[in-house]
Chain A
Amino acid sequence: MSVLDKLLPEFFIKVDRDLCIKCGQCVNNCGFSALLQDKDKNVKPIHEKCVACQRCMFVCPTRAIQIMKFPGTQKHNDYWNPEYISNIKKQANTGGILLTAAGTDKLHPIIFDRLFLDACQVTNPSIDPLREPMEIISYLGEKPIDIAIEFKDNSYILKNKLKPNIKLSSPIIFAAMSYGAISLNAHKSLARAARECGILMNTGEGGLHKDLYEYADNIIVQVASGRFGVDPDYLKRAAAIEIKVGQGAKPGIGGHLPGYKVDDEVSSTRMIPKGTDALSPAPHHDIYSIEDLAQLITSLKEATDYSKPVGVKIAAVHNVAAIASGVARADADYIVIDGFRGGTGAAPTMIRDHIGIPIELAIAAVDDRLRKEKIRNKVSIVAAGGIRHAADMTKILALGADFVTIGTASLIAMGCTLCQKCYTGNCSWGIATQRPDLVDRLNPDEVSKKLVNLIRGWSLELKEIMGALGINAIESLIGNRERLRALELSKETLDVLGVKPAGR
């Protein structure tokens, strides 16, 4: 190996010899083999292999390990930062596409942080959610334009014929993450938490493992171009079906699960031979127009007797409002719009960081367009991609979304430390891996409780914020831009958002 082939380590593992009791926990726990023990049981770091997943730091009983940036520096340069230099070297070594995971980490402007929610005070008195009812139950699916009710025999009878809807106790859905990208234990944890919370989890495009059949009422199944695991039973064992056209972390790019991640269980769930690449390119080759999309939507409805909502997931891109209008007219029951901060198990770095638009702008534009076209009731709008906390969720609902999906946030609740190395399959936390020794570390009993707590916490915060806004039903929050003000956003951005500047 020539010196030209070498890369400097990104991280430095410091083992404190005085504190280390040579127990070997760190060595056993590192999925990336960055720690070894010599014959005297001294811990030897291999800095090049460290990804800063921090598992060793968490498990060390004496806190003897510290992970830090690799000391030693290049000449300071704000334009050619160390990451770009290292990337060029990697590509000069291999001639390949740079891969990364878990969403963009670049400092693009964050609109969420420039938006502020209202506190109505005396104009529209605040409501105390501790003693007043606060309605956050949400329904996924098409709503009727008007309601016809008849009063008969001392009771009200709904005359409308409603399209299928799913009742969720909170406007939160676990984002689409496939079995294959994440482990079966991670999938089980999500499914169990979704059932306990009365919400939904999304299988992604990796098929439905038989252990998840019992959670059918809380599962959205995905249909992507590769149709992995899609058979009539798969479509029937779900509360809703989602056609994946695009995703925020890599708009216009399909899925590619490398063959080395396709083990026995993944292969039987995806219905492909073990060890083969699972390719689902971005284009569905039976969809070349909005009419073709309408046809696939109808095909799925026919196959399931019009009994469940069918949604379409698209990425937030240019002209997203026009695209969403077409999707709504193609008879989708809901649209997922995935912003450029969406996560993924693997994406080409350049695409993740440079394609797509912020979810805040996309949701506002779509909601506005569908209202102007008077078809907003035809679809539920689901906002995805980089929702970090309950305030982000409330803001995006005020900009026009009916639901949010949480992917990265749910992974963090499961233990993820955002080391962004999901595509290697070595996740030390047992989440983004199929290695049995690592998957076993994730206990669905324990982890599903964490997820339940997260949903409970966010739901309580949502109620508190709504109370401060003087709103007691989520229906009054959705698209309510009057409850938002913006600080230091351009006139053009405010125009798209439909939000007034702070002070007005």
Chain B
Amino acid sequence: MININALNMDSRELNKKIKESIEEGHKEINIINVLGQRFIGNGIQNKDLKITINGTVGNDLGMFMDGVDIELFGNAQDGVGNTLNSGTICVHGRAGDVVGYAARGGKIFIEKDVGYRVGIHMKEFKKNVPTVVVGGSAGSFLGEYMAGGILVILNLDSPKIMKADAIGTGMHGGKIYIRGDVNANNIGKEVVILDIDDDDYKILTSILGEYGKRFNFNSEDLLKDKFIKLKAISHRPYGNLYAY
């Protein structure tokens, strides 16, 4: 375990320090006084590294990351887990736009609200199924062009009918689970609203169990509430676009 005080450090300096600590063989890195530094954990490949962060991180936390466990006590800005390959990012606070952009694996747990375009372009391949769970609500264009993975919106402190617009536009794979409901006008024409079935219930039980453990609450009660599922109508939504 190594402590890094990020006070007055710029992003590059901090990230260099993190990489040096990894090379020295540290398995746990604790960073304090983070104030807007970007790219923390960016591109790091390490299956058994844990980074704990106190403060507010800047953009692109854990971008291109592969296998690290990041726990952030504070808010995050845009691009959390952008193009994430594997690993876990847990944010005890809010996060900004494009959380989990094009993620192809790993888990992203956000305690409170997130911004726009969350989970867009997420993909999945065989066992790599990226998962994003948001405790609060999400902005518009949620899951746009989503090609795989699982997005869960819990609406814990927000209205149970999501106000976000254009949810799942261009979606052609994966699943979006929402605790509560959405208005049919607010979803893309490529998705359908379905009730959850037994398989979904199993998936949610497992994901929410892990999410609840991270944030110290019992998730079982949540599962008694109404959940809906958004699913793509086709894995080739634009198959009839061309005259050839």
Contacts and interface: CB of A to CB of B under 8 A. Distances in A.
Contact of B60 (A94, A233, A281, A295): A295
A258 B148 contact: no
Contact of A96 (B38, B170, B243): B243
Contact of A286 (B82, B104, B172): B82
Given A227-B121, A279-B172, A285-B101, A273 B148 contact: yes
Contacts of B117: 285
A276 B147 contact: yes
A277 interface: yes
B79 interface: yes
Nearest to A346: B242
Interface residues of B, number: 51
Contact of B238 (A226, A279, A298): A279
Interface in B103-146: 104, 117, 120-121, 123-125, 128, 141, 144-145
A259 interface: yes
B85 A232 contact: yes
Interface string A270-285: 0111011101010001
Contacts of B104: 227, 231, 271
Given A281-B145, A285-B144, A303-B64, A97 B59 contact: no
Contacts, number: 136
B83 interface: yes
Contacts of B124: 272-273
Contacts of A126: none
B95 interface: no
A304 B241 CA distance: 39
A298 B39 contact: yes
Nearest to A229: B104
B236 A299 contact: no
A299 B101 contact: no
B239 interface: yes
Nearest to A223: B83
A165 interface: no
A424 B172 contact: no
Interface residues of A, number: 43
A211 B123 CA distance: 23
Contact of A275 (B97, B235, B240): B235
B59 A230 contact: no
Contacts of A271: 104, 123, 125, 128
A267 B63 CA distance: 23
Given A99-B244, A285-B121, A299-B82, A277 B43 contact: no
A225 interface: yes
B64 A299 contact: yes
A256 interface: yes
Contacts of A275: 235-236
A298 B63 contact: no
A96 B44 CA distance: 45
A419 to B, nearest CB: 14
Given A277-B237, A299-B42, A302-B43, A230 B64 contact: yes
A480 B98 CA distance: 45
Nearest to B15: A302
Interface of A: 90-91, 93-99, 225-228, 230-233, 235, 256, 258-259, 267-268, 271-273, 275-277, 279, 281, 285-286, 295, 298-300, 302-305, 423-424
